[in-house]
Chains A and B, each alone.
Chain A
Amino acid sequence: MSRPEPSLLSSVRGQGDPASDVYEEHPPRMGFFTDTSLCIGCKACEVACKEWNQVPEDGLNFTGMSFDNSEGLSADTWRHVAFIEQRKPIADSQANFQHTGATVIDLGLDSAPGGLDTEFRWLMSSDVCKHCTDAACLDVCPTGALFRTEFGTVVVQEDVCNGCGYCVPACPYGVIGKREDDGRVWKCTLCYDRLGEGMEPACAKACPTNSIQFGELEELRERAGARVEQLQHAGVSDAQLYGHDPHDGVGGDGAFFLLLDEPEVYGLPPDPIATTRDLPRMWRSAAIAAAGLIGAVGASFAGRR
């Protein structure tokens, strides 16, 4: 994982507590730990989120992507449950299938490493805005619509957003999107309006198996560390944390995950980097170049007199 470089703008890189740069006093950083080993794929999170935030439904579309008809995060889907069917077990689970070689989609590949025709697992995971420590969307927003809350989360102010859409390509996860009929961008607010009243986010409250856990980020990270160890001891060798590391390309996520396979399997970028990370360096280089150019030009004139 790459480290953010020291720069003129280094004060912007919160290094784990982004709210301290912008608030004199603020409560502890809040976030999500989504333990996908507990997810039953029920999508209560998707619905509870839409209900609370009055997010519009985004159309009837049978995708054939297992049970995932939501497809991905967007302006109109702020929690998205992914489903991945694989021919391998979780630890020593047994599916006892009797598949004889035909596959759902024949890619001409061997079955998954160690996979047998009897093995199977169905991974489910609820994806959400990561509320990055180094949030590129926040960096590029020209209007101040996107801002860092006192809880360390990233929220769009719908009364300020002018729909310029800069934030959309900026997000390394492809989370934020624009509502075409509305013109503004929308994404998960980590239920900012609920946190302010001491209520937990709608998705975390609804989740039947407590896969979505809400709380102080530091405490969640500790809990997650213990959980992934516990799983690995139990033989779930694929168990890994994602987005927990403050040294990753986005400075660690405010919403991080326990996955049971590589991030790519879930449609997540394996090495997300804040797209604005190199901007300070680029500007510095440009400034140096400009200074050099001015210097050279100046020198060329100075030499004449």
Chain B
Amino acid sequence: MRNPIREWPLLRQLQSGDSLARGEAVKSRHTENLGNRAAEADQVVKSVCPYCAVGCAQNVYVKHGKVVQIEGDPDSPVSRGRLCPKGSATLQLTTGDAREHSVLYRRPNATDWEQLDLDTAMEMVAEKIVQTRRDTWEWESEGARVRRSLGIASLGGATLDNEENYLIKKLWTALGIVQVENQARVCHSSTVVGLGTSFGRGGATTFPGDLQNSDCIVIEGSNMAEAHPVAFQWVMEAKARGATVIHVDPHFSRTSAMADTFVPLRTGTDIAFLGGVINYVLENERWFRDYVLAYTNASTIIDEDFRDTEDLDGVFSGFDPVDGHYDYESWQYEGAPVAAASGNRDRYSETHGNGQAMRESAHGESSGSGGPSVQGEPRRDETLEDPRCVFQILKRHYSRYSPEIVAQTCGVPEDVFLKVCETLCANSDRDHTSAFVYAVGWTQHTVGSQYIRTACILQLLLGNIGRPGGGVMAMRGHASIQGSSDIPTLYDLLPGYLPMPHAHEYEDLQAYIEADSAEKGYWGNMSSYMTSLLKAWWGPAASAGNDYCFDYLPRITGAHGTYDTVMAQLEGKCKGYFLMGQNPAVGSANNRMQRKGMANLEWMVVRDFSLIESATWWKDGPEIETGEMRTEDIATEVFFFPAAAHIEKDGTFTNTQRLLQWHHKAQEPEGDARSDLWFMFHLGRLVREKLAGSEDVMDRPILDLVWDYPTSGPLDEPSAEAVLREINGKGPDGAALSSYEQLRDDGSTSCGCWIYCGVFADGVNQADRRKPREEQNWTGGEWGWAWPANRRVLYNRASADPDGNPWSARKALVWWDSAQGRWVGHDTPDFKADKSPSYVPPDDAKGPEALGGSEPFIMQADGRGWLYAPAGLADGPMPTHYEPQDSPFENSLYGQRANPARKTYPHPDNRYHPSGDEPGADVFPYVVTTYRLTEHFTAGGMTRWSPYLAELQPEFFCEVSPELAAERRLEHAGWATIATARGVIEARVLVTDRMTPLKVHNRTVHQIGMPFHWGPNGYAKGDSANELAPMSLDPNAHIQEDKSFTADIRPGRRPRGPARLQLVEDYKRRAGVTAGTGVRP
């Protein structure tokens, strides 16, 4: 019984040592009984942050079935318990009141939403799928069997679980829907091509934690401290150990603040910059000779018909200016053709348009796990003197990239440039390694894939690949965007980077395999991977007799990427659309065309947390505001389904270091909110029910599909574990497989994604492993599971010399232990464990057996890193500097200004600017780049509605130098209007020293920087930067160039209403913009 007298503060004051009542004596009962909601939680559930791709582990505290706190998990070797502001705001994101919990429905031509119950909505959507699919079904297209519907498309997946992406791709494919895309297309698709063709796998070669071992870190095309703050701690560790950090970027960001050297450069010129470094390395003989000779294709001889850009003033041999494509026949290894865009040589010319369809599609991405296949044995010159060897060709190609050219093109003074070269070289040798960290500052260009290739070439020359503290660290952006590329929800790929079959190219499974599989290397087992996938999808219905249902796969006939889908929507060909956790009305280039495409749909389904711009454009989008469209005239039927958050479902994310981490469900979703796993599974169930008993052959793939995942709980939630087990693969007895080496092509194994085989090894969910970091070494190999086969630093065989000894003790990673007869070390060897360094394959060896003991790039057909890519890229075997689509400058290197093979979309709403010396170029004299801020996340759907984040960066702004502000009379903290031929937007103005003028081509150029997180909806509102960006794509990955374009800026707010459109027209008129402006070549 508490005694109030005894508790009287005055009495306590007199009785205790606290005579002045400043401590003990004045503690109230409430204070004495202070607990905290984390300590008092019923359980702590292990999860992973849903924002960026660092994959910080989260501890989710649950009380009475509700999540009450989310904070970092200190056990994680990835994050050490830390979280950035977004991760720290996860509680508000998931449990705050900005989330929708009811299904909303917009009738055609209606002016507002209405309520709709979930079951009815699901029924309606399933019916729409069945109807539209039937109405737009095509068995053939231009004489080729396609078995598909281009009437429905789907976008989204990078924020979803691997299991969800898997069901999305599986269901749509079985329904014949090929236009399946996600954020990976617009974000890091060029990474897959760039890294894949260089090394054999299209993912980051190392992990952020390994950066602590670097002697020098170059961060370029990345704002790592803002986009990946928790991963940045490893850069800080490197700094603490004495590493030099260099940041190369158009704007000085919070990353630059931590760098020893900041190098401002003109956006869009990194190939010139890195090409300059390559030239320096070669001219000054700073390349790591032993490494280059043994581990790269430097000595390989190239076909005598090859002509370089040096010979043809900016193009390579084989360019067809009419269709804008390259025939890479002359780029080949001499005597050993490479089948990259696939099809062996005979078939290649058989396809209609001379392989045009093949070249149209972004085929380079199938290098994501397994580089292009080489037929035969190429000739080599180990002295590296033959003028046709790769080394000499490379040298000649980059000989033009002098320090003066770098200064002229990039705006980087020669002495600054040379200092970077020297620092990098001084930190790259046997005892030292340097790393490159990059992100979309490199990928989102018309030469994005080549940007990455340049870094790969440099790192190979310096001998930094596969070694601790080295590598090329691609920093991807969304929680599971690596997964949505691996699984994938991409139109041109099947799980594990198997290519989506083209019409014509592959009449049957055998032809398909032959076209792409390699004689040497792991790609040699392609038939096993493909057959196992088909068995996973069609189970008992797939047998040797029917080619394992290979015919069930719809075919692609060219490019069906997200931007092509927008064009198809505008043309009325694509009628139905699914958006799942993606907001293209803000996140994609040329927002206007995205919205106009959607306005032309018959129906669309949006799944998200809140009413994002891509859900409400018909009601309050910019076209309504300008009067260009009237809500009542828009016939698009819109469904909004509230989505479950990551804490409301089980599943795996794959982060930027290829690490799969399982996150556990902590609470049930509320109201109508459901996981995307639930949505896809039940949608599939409903569609199958509707089509049950159909005798139409077109329905066989969907009816024969394996779609029997067990469900449980009050919501009939399908089992994510069952899906992951299917992805992992099963043996003939149904037991979980442990390695893709166990896959067979005789129908006895099934596997949903061969590169993920092993995630459920021994029947244990390896992605759920949580061994604390203090109990293991820095690679953290027992936390989660990374593909391939849990290797953390890829190509780590290259950390040892050809004899199997580390290049130096300081940089030891894996090495050959001859006593044990195995490779041992700090990481899982990325090599056959018992293959000795001296192993020489017999002449008739095939597949992985055909690789020698000193060929570290095991996914490359010739086992080597590619300095020169004989195939796999649509725009050249070596990177060349080209100006961006919109640029104030001519190309200082060649007559060919922009990438001749880039993909352009002539359309009245997608006009390009006059560039270089073209008349009218001066109407858009300023160079624009876009970037992230740490407080917000991509298109803003997960941050602009969260007050704790919105208040940190409340308004859209642009950053300009004091010089530009003076030139255009812009007021600090005032307003500015920024204009391109695509649109005009307004932004607050931040005049800052962090934007510097540059001297390019002997004149001053100003850059304008803008974060791209805003849109008109949410709590923090503003115009969207991507209103300004054009659709002009890299030809390999079909990724847009939104990191470099031109614009004009003037003080004041933009016009409202029709005057807004008029202003755009005025600009176009003044610049003389026509349908032909800027269209290639």
Partners in one complex: yes
Is A187 engaged at the interface, CB distance under 8 Å to the other chain?
no
Is A166 in contact with chain B by the CB < 8 A criterion? no
Is A253 in the interface zone, CB < 8 Å from B? Answer: no
Report the Cα distance A97→B963, complex, angstroms: 12
Q: Chain A residues with Cβ under 8 A from B954's Cβ?
A: 60-62, 69
Chain B 35-71: CB-based contact to A (< 8 A → 1; otherwise 0):
1101100000000000000000000000000000111
With A42-B254, A93-B261, A157-B28 as given contacts, are A206 and B993 in contact (CB-CB < 8 Å)?
Answer: no
Do A193 and B934 form a contact, CB below 8 Å, given A44-B85, A94-B416? Answer: no
Q: A14-35: which have CB < 8 Å to B?
A: 19, 21-24
- Closest residue of B by beta carbon distance from A96: B416
Indicate with 1 or 0, residue by residue over A49-88, a CB within 8 angstroms of chain B CB atoms.
0111000011111111011011000000000000001010
Q: Check A94 against B992 for contact (C-beta < 8 Å).
A: no
- Chain-B contact segment, one of A207-215, A218-226, A278-286: A207-215
Check B994 against A60 for contact (C-beta < 8 Å). Answer: no
- Within the assembled complex, what's the spacing in Å between the Cα atoms of A22 and B27? 11
Choose among B26, B81, B225 the residue that contacts A160 (Cβ–Cβ < 8 A).
B26
Chain B residues closer than 8 Å to A85, beta-carbon distance = 992-994
B971 to chain A: closest residue by CB:
A64
Contact B948 A51 (CB under 8 A): yes
Count B-side interface residues using an 8 Å CB cutoff: 92
- Known contacts A40-B257, A42-B226; A104/B72 CB under 8 A: no
Asked, given contacts A12-B20, A96-B416, A206-B71, whether A147 binds B27 with beta carbons under 8 Å apart, the answer is yes
Query: Complex formed: what's the CA distance from A201 to B896 in Å?
Result: 58
Residues on B with beta carbons closer than 8 Å to the beta carbon of A100: 963, 997
Specify which of B84, B256, B419, B1019 lies most central, judged by the most chain A CB atoms within 10 Å of its CB: B84
Bound complex: CA A61 to CA B27 (Å) = 37
For A, the interface residue count at a CB cutoff of 8 angstroms equals 75
Q: Are A59 and B71 in contact (CB under 8 A)?
A: no
Partner of B996, one of A60, A94, A98, A206: A98
| Interchain CB contact under 8 A, A42 and B81 | no
**In the complex, what distance in Å separates the CA atom of A202 from the CA atom of B81?**
11
| Residues A102 and B966 in contact, CB atoms below 8 Å apart | yes
Contact assessment for B18 and A22 in the assembled complex, using a CB-CB cutoff below 8 Å: yes
A193→B993 CA distance, assembly (Å): 43
Neighbouring B residues of A197 by C-beta, 8 Å: 35-36, 38-39
For residue A3, CB closer than 8 A to chain B, the reply is: no
| Bound Cα distance from A105 to B411, whole angstroms | 26
Q: Which interface residue of B69, B74, B89 has the most chain A CB atoms within 10 A?
A: B89
Cα-based distance from A195 to B86 in the complex (angstroms) = 24
Which A residue sits closest to B265, measured CB to CB? Answer: A96
- Could you tell me if B21 and A144 are in contact, using CB atoms closer than 8 angstroms? yes
Instruction: Assess the A23–B24 pair: CB atoms within 8 A.
Output: yes
Which segment of B229-237, B484-492, B507-515, B544-552 sits at the interface?
Answer: B229-237
In the complex, the chain B residue whose C-beta lies closest to that of A189 is B34
Nearest B residue to A105 by beta-carbon distance?
Answer: B972
A120 and B89 within 8 A (CB): no
Task: Contact check, A42 vs B993: say whether CB atoms are below 8 A apart.
Answer: no
Partner of A99 from B263, B996, B1019 at Cβ < 8 Å:
B996
State in angstroms the CA–CA spacing of A21 and B16 once bound together.
11
**Contact yes or no, B229 A104, CB < 8 A:** no
Q: From B82, which residue of chain A is reached at the shortest CB distance?
A: A208
Name A170-216 residues within 8 Å CB distance of B: 192-194, 196-197, 199, 202, 205-210
Residues A199 and B82 in contact, CB atoms below 8 Å apart: no
A58 touches B951 (CB 8 A): yes
- Alpha-carbon distance A43/B988, docked complex (angstroms): 21
Closest partner residue, chain B, to A207 (CB atom) = B82
Interface residue SS majority, chain A: loop
* A27–B966 CA distance with the chains assembled, in angstroms: 58
Mask for A128-160, Cβ within 8 A of B = 1, else 0? 000000000010000011011110000101111
Q: Which residue of B lies closest to A198 (CB)?
A: B39
B14 contacts the other chain (Cβ, under 8 Å)? no
With A42-B226, A69-B954, A85-B992 as known contacts, state yes or no: A210 contacts B233, CB within 8 Å: yes
Closest residue of chain A to B933 (Cβ to Cβ) is: A67
A132, chain B: closest CB distance, angstroms: 13
Verify if B935 is at the interface (C-beta below 8 Å from A): yes
Are A43 and B416 in contact, CB atoms less than 8 angstroms apart?
no
Contact A208 B23 (CB under 8 A): no
Give the complex CA separation of A229 and B935 in angstroms: 33
How far apart sit A161 and B26, CA to CA, in the bound complex (Å)? Answer: 12
Residue of A22, A42, A64, A105 ringed by the most chain B CB atoms within 10 A: A42
> Is the Cβ of B254 less than 8 Å from the Cβ of A40?
yes
Q: Determine whether the beta carbon of B972 is less than 8 Å from that of A64.
A: yes
- Asked if residues B262 and A147 are in contact (CB atoms below 8 Å), the reply is no
> Smallest CB–CB gap between A170 and chain B, Å?
14
In whole Å, how far is A273's beta carbon from the nearest beta carbon of chain B?
19
Is B456's beta carbon under 8 Å from chain A? no
Q: Which residues of B contact A48 (CB under 8 A)?
A: 71, 83, 85, 88
User: In the complex, how many angstroms separate the beta carbon of A303 from the nearest chain B beta carbon?
Assistant: 40
Say if the beta carbon of A95 comes within 8 Å of chain B: yes
Docked complex Cα distance between A145 and B27 (Å): 8
B612 to chain A, nearest CB (A): 19
Establish whether residues B972 and A97, one from each chain, have CB atoms under 8 Å apart when the complex forms.
no
Asked if B1016 is an interface residue, CB under 8 A from chain A, the answer is no
Q: Does A124 contact B (CB under 8 A)?
A: yes
Is B949 among interface residues, defined by CB-CB distance under 8 A? Answer: yes
A127 within 8 A of B: no
Contact of A38 with B by CB under 8 A: yes
Chain B residues positioned under 8 Å from A99 (CB to CB): 961-963, 993, 996-997
- Is there a chain A Cβ closer than 8 Å to B264's Cβ? yes
A37 — nearest CB in chain B belongs to which residue? B258
B252, A122: Cβ atoms closer than 8 Å: yes
8 Å CB contacts to A: which residues of B66-98? 69-72, 74, 81-89, 91-92
Give every chain B residue within 8 A of A22 (Cβ-Cβ): 17-18, 20, 22-25
A94 B952 Cβ-Cβ under 8 A: no
Q: Which residue on chain A has the smallest CB distance to residue B416?
A: A96
Tell me the minimal C-beta distance from B411 to chain A in angstroms. 8
Q: Is B712 an interface residue (CB 8 A)?
A: no
Minimal beta-carbon separation of B91 from chain A (angstroms): 5
Chain B residues in 8 Å Cβ range of A62: 954-955, 957, 973, 988
Distance from A56 Cβ to chain B, minimum over Cβ atoms (Å): 8
Assembly CA distance A148 to B92 (angstroms): 31
- B24, B85, B259: the one contacting A43 at CB < 8 Å is B85
Closest to A160 in B: B28
Chain A residues, Cβ within 8 Å of B951 = 57-61, 69-70
The yes or no answer to A103 lying at the interface (CB within 8 A) is yes
From B26, B89, B965, B996, contact of A144 by CB (8 A): B26
Q: Give, as a whole number of angstroms, the nearest-CB distance from B60 to chain A.
A: 13
* Alpha-carbon distance A43/B88, docked complex (angstroms): 10
Give the shortest distance, in Å, between B896 (CB) and chain A (any CB). 29
Q: A64 near B973 (CB under 8 angstroms)?
A: yes
Interface residues of A (CB under 8 A from B): 11-12, 19, 21-24, 38, 40-44, 46-48, 50-52, 57-64, 66-67, 69-70, 85, 87, 92-100, 102-105, 120-122, 124, 138, 144-145, 147-150, 155, 157-160, 192-194, 196-197, 199, 202, 205-210
Extra pairs beyond A44-B229, A206-B84 (15, CB < 8 Å): A23-B23, A42-B85, A42-B934, A60-B950, A62-B973, A69-B951, A69-B953, A93-B259, A94-B419, A102-B962, A121-B257, A124-B254, A205-B81, A206-B82, A206-B83
- Some 24 contacts from A to B, beta carbons below 8 A apart, are A38-B236, A40-B257, A42-B226, A43-B85, A43-B934, A43-B935, A46-B952, A62-B957, A64-B972, A64-B990, A66-B992, A69-B953, A94-B260, A95-B262, A95-B264, A96-B412, A97-B264, A104-B972, A157-B31, A160-B26, A197-B35, A205-B72, A206-B87, A209-B236
**Residues of B participating in the A interface, judged by any CB pair closer than 8 Å:** 9, 16-18, 20-28, 30-31, 34-36, 38-39, 69-72, 74, 81-89, 91-92, 225-226, 229-230, 232-233, 236, 252, 254-264, 411-413, 416, 419, 933-935, 947-955, 957, 961-963, 965-966, 972-973, 988, 990-994, 996-999, 1019-1020
What 5 A-B pairs have minimum CB-CB distances, sorted nearest first?
A: A22-B23, A64-B973, A144-B26, A60-B954, A57-B947
